Structure 1
Amino acid sequence: MDYRDASDETPHRVPVPTQKPFHHTLSLNLKETFMPDDPFRQFRNQSPYRRFILAIQYLIPIFEWAPNYTFSFLKSDVLAGITIASVAIPQGISYAKLANLPPILGLYSNFVPPLVYAVMGTSRDLAIGNFAVASLLLASLLVKEVSPTENPLLYINLALTSTFFAGIFQAALGILRLGFLVDLLSHSAIVGYMSGAATVVSLQQLKGIMGLKDFTTETDVVSVMKSVFTQTHHWKWEAVVLGCVFLFLILFTRYLSQLNKKFFWFAAAAPLTSIILASLAVYLSRADKHGVQVIGELKKGLNPLSFSSLTFDDKYLMISIKTGIIIGIISLAEGIAAGRSFAFFKNYNIDGNKEMIAFGLMNLAGSVTSCFLTTGPFSRAAVNYNAGCKTAMSNIVMAIAVMLTLLLLTPLFFYTPLAVLSAIIVGAMIGLVDYKATIHLWKVDKIDFFTCIGAYLGVVFGSVEIGLLIAVTISMLRLLFFVGRPRTMLLGKIPDSTIFRRMDQYPGAHSIPGVIVLRIDAPILFPNASYLKERVTRWINEEEEKMVLKGHPELQYLIIDMGAVSSMDTSGVNMMSEIKNNIEIRGLKLVLANPGSEVLKKLKMSQILEKIGAEWIYLTVSEAVEACKYLIESCNGGSTIAENYIDDSATSISDDIV
């Protein structure tokens, strides 16, 4: 149909789009869901050779940036790689202890996975390594099935098997382009969960700082504090002094780095410096002979193959799969969030699905080379970013530094006290307790705040699994709440304009006598169809009562602004039919304004459009109101005038319905 000229005062009508075949619509929806980035667009109009090159670059991202790599980039990446290695080595050892695994596995985990990620990853800033929260989660899930002290070999095998399943799960999400599932964890839930896990991890380090040998396997704060204060007679003052001194050093250097970015190197070097100084202190004072626990001997050599260590026994298969999926989700959420954050700072894009494939492949490779779960922790990515990294080559440099450590330097860690490892973990965890984000949530959105607090309390007073369950449950419930109970609002006209806005937000907006204008702010689907029907009826009842009190004419028209209704299912179609029937019994006429193409197609196919009348569908609320006002004012002139207005004022939409 032809629209009228903009100067024409007559209303414009909304054309109904041509119905397309089902398979065409389905393919478009699937493409938009799973491939919104259209990854194949770069292959169009290219020669076969060029397509082959682009395919290699798409599948293996290192071939995309390596041809343009420069010596200037190399200098920056070498400096950044050495810097993150100084963080990765002490953290790897510490997080292995946190997961109840031999410390050498922490070093192994910082060698192979970073190499895989450098080849397959799309982020320039992520630094790959172990993640404290995932390490704690791994330990808390496996320790319920197998004791790491009574059966250490089986425990290690289950940790590697869980990492194997985490890799399969992560890679499958990326290959199937299901990355949007990770986004179902809301930001507020992640903030609360991470803060709670960081609190629990920090409290558990009291075991190392106090020099305790026996400690609870529970993670809740009550059990941890009870275990600490019922063993006061076992506290080792030497360990307490070492732990507190080096914790102060780590926190002080971090404080300096926050005051001035030039002091960033102090904070980056603090963990490795602490290990060196503490090891020297223990060696010179022989404190290991007086109750200070040390790491002990670490084997020289690179990662041994561990494929034969993977355990697929029926007795432990389900716990390995369950643990793998849970730690896989948490590590994905951390790694992708960190990658996106630093990509935003540097104004480049990362491919979420490729990232999941990269994470999955590096954990698969790690599980068969004696590594436990790795990801791209935010804290380590921040070190890499601030150290001036240019590409993922910094991960290769870090891996080389770890390789040299494994080949030459592991004996030097013999006298490293566990108290200092605990101090390093606490120093890293304090930064994850994001109280500023929690305060911000309180100011901006109270529901998000309580979501955050619920996840935090679940972790701290329950367990990391309970906290994760609460975080996921609250996120899902909130999503269902907004889908099932969408907003509806009464619109009024802004004075001296043709604009209609919410009357509760704009006090100057006024209603139109004889007309009620409602806006539905969500798709109309089966979870909310009944609610919306009841809500629309209630709005009509309330507005009629106001009309009577003010002495205004009775309602004659219900205008529904459909601009925000992006889709509608059969329950929504039935709801519109029921609303039309119900209000016609009360003497009202249903008018629709600005319905979308998908909604119009559903109304047309269900023949509801014929019942409403195509002439009662308008492009804007203003035009719909003007038409209704004209009809109300013309009612004394008879129905012929009104019908002539409808027929002559604009070309009817029915002309387009073929």
Structure 2
Amino acid sequence: MIKNQTTMSARVGVDVEWKDSDTNSLPSFHQTDDLPYVHKVGKPPKQDLLKEIKTGLKETFLSDDPLKPFKGQSKKRKLVLGFQTLFPILEWGRDYSFSKFKGDLIAGCTIASLCIPQDIGYAKLANLDAQYGLCKFSQKFQQKILQIFDQYILIQTYTDSSFVPPLIYAFMGSSRDIAIGPVAVVSLLLGTMLREELDPIKQKHDYERLAFTATFFAGVTQFILGFFRLGFLIDFLSHAAIVGFMAGAAVTIALQQLKGLFGIKDFTKKTDIISVMRSVVQSAHHGWNWQTILIGVSFLIFLLVAKFIGKKNKKLFWVPAIAPLISVIISTFSVFITRADKEGVQIVRHIEQGINPSSAHEIFFNGPFLAKGFKIGVIAGLIALTEAVAIGRTFASMKDYQIDGNKEMVALGTMNIVGSLTSCYVATGSFSRSAVNYMAGCNTAVSNIVMSIIVLLTLYIITPLFKYTPNAILASIIISAVVGLIDLDAAILLWKIDKFDFVACMGAFFGVIFASVEIGLLIAVAISFGKILLQVTRPRTAVLGKIPRTSVYRNIEQYLGATRIPGVLIIRVDSAIYFSNSNYIKER
């Protein structure tokens, strides 16, 4: 006999009296002549189809009632609230103080020192020239902006993907802690998918155009998801799948950096572990450069030690933050004075300085590459969005505040759309920089503005000095950065809690390292959907017993003291009961 409130009401027209409001508690029977006391249930009201559809849509897309603050307000107040909704900085900026600025200033300076060398490396990871990790405003774009304000001054600046997107996010984002810029996983994904379509060397111009096109559609995808409040879709990619995907991407990224770490010139274009290791071994006799290996391994050890120091002592968070910049300065100076580049040490050689043509006319809005750019952009945009929202929620929970997922998507989408027009590729929230930003004591998104300004001024002054930066140091910086993406503790916890989640995690991990980033992502999504379908069609059931001296009923397998009621079988179904699982529940 199954005591289930819904099914009993529908079948016999009676309902058992609940003793308390605890949803996990079951009814307590009032004995009258050895029979349970029951109440008659009235006939349910006639259902209105349109009303049900309206209610369903409201609960799906407008569950938080975003228009509630606008109700009963004057037109002027509604306009103000509208601007504050679009630009949260107008709301929290009213309470901004100098004490908050001091924390943001320190945090901005700290993450700026970290992002400069990382951005150059991530651009190379995406098979783009360094200036696209360090991309620039165009003269025409600047003139159009200045003409709006009736200013006719020509400003020649050198900016990067850690300048334009963070500025836009600072005005539109709702997270106080996210640090915006290029990230390793998205750079690898973008580079891998672009290289399948075009050769980054032989078809360099078209490759760059396709990168801008993908960035544009990544931004459009993110914006649409946020504007139409479809953010719940990214929740279908489970935490277990993300853990596995990130770990696999980290291993793949590290393996790709062996080319720069060992000074290998002839390297495979494939990303799977077998092809990469075969390429490394085959080039061992003639392709390795011992000076490059010495530089790369030495600074890799230095960076890992700095990361270990920062992890052990939270007060020394600045050590791993400035270590990459120190590594770049020392290695560049060493190569310059020894002219190690003449001995086979590969260097950056040249990063363009000055004015870069606008990329607005470079985007493919027609032709065969339009569909390819759209496909790559949607995938890269979703991965970037998932990473940013996860990072934002993590740090928001640590500081006990809420972020609006849909606002985040609109902000991320807008910054990538503008970025695609200003020679930037896909940017998102960086976990390593956000962690440094958090530990440095940031208070608001002003830390992103501080970082942007420092990066702008720094690159405008010292850009020519990057000419002698060895590729090995960039490889070391990327390897040390992606180590943190491998979360062994999370994988072990998944094994202990849910074996199916662990399978999803491992499936994504092995899919990435043995096949490709796209295959790993596809496996992660497929397993996540598979788990959802399995849980819906084959829900867990538990036999419940009464906890002594209480009116609470719990799973008798978890609570050994719970006792079953003689003659009554009480079962809890951990899912809604409907057509896809009703037969299974009956059979159980």
The whole-number CA distance in structure 2 between the counterparts of 1:193 and 1:223 is 19
Alignment counterpart, residue 261 of structure 1, candidates 314, 320, 325: 314
1:144 is matched with which residue? 196
1:412 has 2:439 as partner: no
The whole-number CA distance in structure 2 between the counterparts of 1:506 and 1:234 is 64
Q: TM-score, normalised by structure 2?
A: 0.87
Q: Which amino acid aligns with 2:266?
A: D
**Residue range with higher mean Cα deviation, 59-68 or 341-350:** 59-68
2:97 is matched with which residue? 70
Shift of 1:493: 5.1
1:111 has 2:138 as partner: no
Alignment counterpart, residue 512 of structure 1, candidates 566, 571, 574: 566
1:455 has 2:508 as partner: yes
Structure 1 pair 499–269 and aligned structure 2 pair: CA distance change class (3 A):
closer
2:253 is matched with which residue? 201
SS in 2 for 1:53: helix
Alignment counterpart, residue 123 of structure 2, candidates 93, 96, 119: 96
The whole-number CA distance in structure 2 between the counterparts of 1:303 and 1:88 is 21
**Residue range with higher mean Cα deviation, 68-77 or 455-464:** 68-77
Paired residues of 1:204 and 1:224 also in contact (CA < 8 A): yes
1:41 is matched with which residue? 68
1:382 has 2:435 as partner: yes
1:435 has 2:515 as partner: no
Shift of 1:509: 2.3
The whole-number CA distance in structure 1 between the counterparts of 2:476 and 2:237 is 30
Shift of 1:8: 7.6
Paired residues of 1:491 and 1:511 also in contact (CA < 8 A): no
**Residue range with higher mean Cα deviation, 223-232 or 498-507:** 498-507
1:170 has 2:227 as partner: no
1:159 is matched with which residue? 211
Listed one character per residue, the Cα deviations across residues 91-128 of structure 1 (whole Å, up to 9, x for unaligned) are: 11000000000001112211111111111111111110
The whole-number CA distance in structure 2 between the counterparts of 1:2 and 1:473 is 41
Identity %: 51
Q: Which amino acid aligns with 2:106?
A: L
SS in 1 for 2:196: coil
Q: Which amino acid aligns with 2:116?
A: I
Shift of 1:13: 4.7
The whole-number CA distance in structure 1 between the counterparts of 2:554 and 2:94 is 55
Shift of 1:346: 1.1
1:205-216 equivalent positions in 2, closer than 5 A: 205-216=257-268
Structure 1 pair 512–69 and aligned structure 2 pair: CA distance change class (3 A):
same
1:338-357 equivalent positions in 2, closer than 5 A: 338-357=391-410
Paired residues of 1:194 and 1:433 also in contact (CA < 8 A): yes
Alignment counterpart, residue 50 of structure 1, candidates 55, 77, 82: 77
1:79 is matched with which residue? 106
Shift of 1:407: 2.3
Listed one character per residue, the Cα deviations across residues 361-404 of structure 1 (whole Å, up to 9, x for unaligned) are: 00000001000000001111111111111111111111111211
Structure 1 pair 301–74 and aligned structure 2 pair: CA distance change class (3 A):
farther
1:655 is matched with which residue? none
Structure 1 pair 94–16 and aligned structure 2 pair: CA distance change class (3 A):
farther
Shift of 1:303: 5.6
Structure 1 pair 105–2 and aligned structure 2 pair: CA distance change class (3 A):
closer
1:523 has 2:576 as partner: yes
Paired residues of 2:540 and 2:573 also in contact (CA < 8 A): yes
SS in 2 for 1:353: helix
The whole-number CA distance in structure 1 between the counterparts of 2:80 and 2:268 is 56
Paired residues of 1:192 and 1:454 also in contact (CA < 8 A): yes
1:134 has 2:198 as partner: no
1:307-346 equivalent positions in 2, closer than 5 A: 307-346=360-399
SS in 1 for 2:120: helix
**Residue range with higher mean Cα deviation, 36-45 or 461-470:** 36-45
The whole-number CA distance in structure 2 between the counterparts of 1:342 and 1:302 is 37
Shift of 1:502: 3.8
Paired residues of 2:215 and 2:426 also in contact (CA < 8 A): yes
2:22 is matched with which residue? none
Shift of 1:409: 1.7
Shift of 1:491: 4.0
Listed one character per residue, the Cα deviations across residues 284-330 of structure 1 (whole Å, up to 9, x for unaligned) are: 11001111111112122366420111123432222211111111111
The whole-number CA distance in structure 2 between the counterparts of 1:230 and 1:198 is 23
Structure 1 pair 71–492 and aligned structure 2 pair: CA distance change class (3 A):
closer
2:340 is matched with which residue? 287
Structure 1 pair 296–16 and aligned structure 2 pair: CA distance change class (3 A):
farther
Q: Which amino acid aligns with 1:350?
A: I
Paired residues of 2:15 and 2:41 also in contact (CA < 8 A): no
Paired residues of 1:492 and 1:512 also in contact (CA < 8 A): no
1:465 has 2:492 as partner: no
Unpaired runs of 5+ residues, structure 1, are 536-658
Shift of 1:340: 0.6
2:242 is matched with which residue? 190
Structure 1 pair 16–67 and aligned structure 2 pair: CA distance change class (3 A):
farther
Unpaired runs of 5+ residues, structure 2, are 1-13, 20-28, 32-36, 135-159
Shift of 1:139: 1.0
Shift of 1:422: 0.2
SS in 2 for 1:144: helix
Paired residues of 1:343 and 1:350 also in contact (CA < 8 A): yes
Q: Which amino acid aligns with 2:179?
A: A
Q: Which amino acid aligns with 1:426?
A: I
Paired residues of 1:455 and 1:471 also in contact (CA < 8 A): yes
Instruction: Name which structure has the greater RCO, CA cutoff 8 Å, separation 6+.
Output: 2
Structure 1 pair 496–358 and aligned structure 2 pair: CA distance change class (3 A):
closer
Paired residues of 1:501 and 1:509 also in contact (CA < 8 A): no
Listed one character per residue, the Cα deviations across residues 538-578 of structure 1 (whole Å, up to 9, x for unaligned) are: xxxxxxxxxxxxxxxxxxxxxxxxxxxxxxxxxxxxxxxxx
Structure 1 pair 524–214 and aligned structure 2 pair: CA distance change class (3 A):
same
SS in 1 for 2:572: strand
SS in 2 for 1:143: helix
Shift of 1:239: 0.6
1:23 is matched with which residue? 50
The whole-number CA distance in structure 2 between the counterparts of 1:498 and 1:80 is 53
Listed one character per residue, the Cα deviations across residues 405-437 of structure 1 (whole Å, up to 9, x for unaligned) are: 332221011110000000000000111111111
Listed one character per residue, the Cα deviations across residues 130-160 of structure 1 (whole Å, up to 9, x for unaligned) are: 0101111111111111110111111111111
Alignment counterpart, residue 329 of structure 2, candidates 262, 276, 280: 276
Q: Which amino acid aligns with 1:385?
A: Y
Shift of 1:531: 2.0
Paired residues of 1:219 and 1:463 also in contact (CA < 8 A): yes
**Residue range with higher mean Cα deviation, 1-10 or 110-119:** 1-10
Structure 1 pair 312–214 and aligned structure 2 pair: CA distance change class (3 A):
farther
Paired residues of 2:385 and 2:428 also in contact (CA < 8 A): yes
Greater Rg over alpha carbons, structure: 1
The whole-number CA distance in structure 1 between the counterparts of 2:104 and 2:444 is 7
Shift of 1:272: 0.7
Q: Which amino acid aligns with 1:474?
A: I
Alignment coverage as a number of residue pairs: 534
Q: Which amino acid aligns with 1:340?
A: R
The whole-number CA distance in structure 2 between the counterparts of 1:41 and 1:239 is 61
The whole-number CA distance in structure 2 between the counterparts of 1:284 and 1:434 is 40
Q: Which amino acid aligns with 2:383?
A: I
Paired residues of 2:15 and 2:40 also in contact (CA < 8 A): no
The whole-number CA distance in structure 1 between the counterparts of 2:272 and 2:68 is 51
